[in-house]
Structures are given as C-alpha cells and as structure tokens.
Amino acid sequence: MSETRVSRFELQLLEKLWDLGIASVREIQENLPEKDRPAYTTVQTMIYRLEEKGAVRRVKKVGNAHVFQAVLTRKAVHRRLISDLLNLFGGSPGPVVSHLIETGKLTLADVKELEKRLCAMEEKR
C-alpha cells in the first residue's frame, strides 16, 4: 500500500477526507473549494478509483450513500510523493533544496530547525 501513487486531484480528495475523518462523496464534494468545484459524479468516480487503489475504504452505508474513510495516512502519501520527486533528480535532494532556498520557501530558521532534528537523529543512533 505504501507504493500507492495518487494524482494531484486524488490528493486533494484525500486531504478533504483526512480533514473530515469519515465522509460521503457528497460531503467530500461540498467541502471542496466552491470555485471550480468538480461535479458530484466526478468526485464519486475518483473516490471509487481511490478505493480500488486501496487508499480509501467504505465504512458504512447511510441510505444510498456510502461513507468512506482514508486507509492511507497523510504521512505515507506525502512520503511517497517526496520519494517520487527525489527520484526525478536521481535521488539527490540538492536541486529541490536549492529551489526551496532560491524561492524563499526554505528559510534560515527552517534550516536551523532541520539541523536540530538531524542532530537528534544522530544522537539516537
């Protein structure tokens, strides 16, 4: 399951499902941004695809509506996406980190915090 790949739209649906906990397709669809909100049937199709991938599961049925829950965690999905991104650069984080620095998305405070975390990891080893 950790090998499950998700598209950008599937990730958006999973984010809503993680926020909601458990939800019907209608609840997920209604919690998407109103601007450019996809049709109910589009969300339904994508949730069913996520179910086929093992990323979500049906937990109950209320009337005609199925209620879903995420199987994959946010952390697992994010790890997969980051691994895929790094693989595009031959596994090297250098180009990604350089870009983050150049665009101001990685600050000196972030680097200091990361350094603390790395030191703590080293001490545990």
Distance in angstroms (rounded) separating the CA atoms of residues 66 and 92: 42
Per residue in 8-67, pLDDT tens?
A: 999 999 999 999 999 999 999 999 999 999 999 999 999 999 999 999 999 999 899 999
**So what CATH class is 1-92?**
mainly alpha
CB 28 within 8 A of CB 13: yes
Sequence-distant (≥ 6) Cβ neighbours of residue 18 within 8 angstroms = 70, 74
**70-121 tens-digit pLDDT:** 999 999 999 999 999 999 999 999 999 999 999 999 999 999 999 999 999 9
pLDDT of 2 = 54
In the chain, domain spans: 1-92
